[in-house]
Amino acid sequence: SLKADICRVAALYLEGGYYYDVDLKTVEPVYLAPNITFSSCRESQVYFKCEGRCPPGNVIEEAKRRIGAYPYGINNLFQAFVASIRTSPVLKRALELMLDYYEGKYQNHGPMGVSTLGDALAEIMASNSSAVNLRLLYESKNTENMKDNYYPDAGQPDGKGLGCKKIVHDPQEHRVYFFSRIPGYSGSCVFANSTEDPDAAAANAGKVFM
């Protein structure tokens, strides 16, 4: 999967265009305005125990102090959807961070791909925000309140697990574009009649990166 992370970013850097994972369930297509130069999706922030190995930072330390955990993936991007122009500075920086990862110079705070891509975007926006015309979507759990009040027509994948319940949406437009997973393609979203425990699988996957 790490090779796929690198190839995805490298191909978009060289050619530009849209990338979608095959296990997204599309609700409606994403059309980006001509002036948008980079788009992806901010991951849900999920908390995991870090047992004294929390990365530095005021937000992270405050989370550790309050609940004994840190916000996993505070910058992470959900790389199942990425769109970019050619030679994007975000993608260039992501490739540099990936090289740093393999040389032992970069500490990832989640899966290498989502971590490096998210940190690259954060760095570029902090140093020169005018270099990127950004459109970010957001990944959220589609709770009963959200379904009833915001997205009553979005439907729901026929499966079980947290991955089946997460939506990629634009909260300002109140529009859902994807469900994060379709059943059977991920341990976090399995078929309804499966004996697997998808939520335990998702939690264990996150703890690998502590």
> Phi, psi at residue 39, to the nearest 5°?
-150, 140
Average confidence score pLDDT of the chain: 78
The pLDDT tens digits for 102-145 are 999 998 877 889 889 988 998 898 888 889 999 988 888 776 66
Separation CA 133–CA 39 (nearest Å): 9
Residue 77 has pLDDT above 70, yes or no: yes
Q: Looking at residues 201-205, what average pLDDT do you find?
A: 51
Which range marks the domain in which residue 122 is found?
2-207
Q: Are 118 and 77 in contact (CB under 8 A)?
A: yes
Q: Is the pLDDT of residue 57 over 50?
A: no
Pairing mode of beta strands 38-42, 81-84: antiparallel
Nearest CA-CA partner of 166 in 44, 53, 79, 4: 44
pTM of the shown model: 0.77
Q: State the pLDDT confidence band at 206, using cuts at 50, 70 and 90.
A: very low
Please give the pLDDT value at position 24: 87
pLDDT score of 86 more than 80: yes
As a whole number, mean pLDDT of residues 42-67 equals 46
Query: How do residues 174-198 score in pLDDT, each as one tens digit?
Result: 889 988 888 877 777 888 888 887 6
> Residues 6 or more apart from 23 whose CB is under 8 A from it?
80, 181, 182, 185, 186
Residue 85 pLDDT greater than 60, yes or no: yes
Split at pLDDT 50, 70, 90, the class of 200 is low
Give the count of domains, the chain.
1
- The whole-number pLDDT of residue 186 equals 72
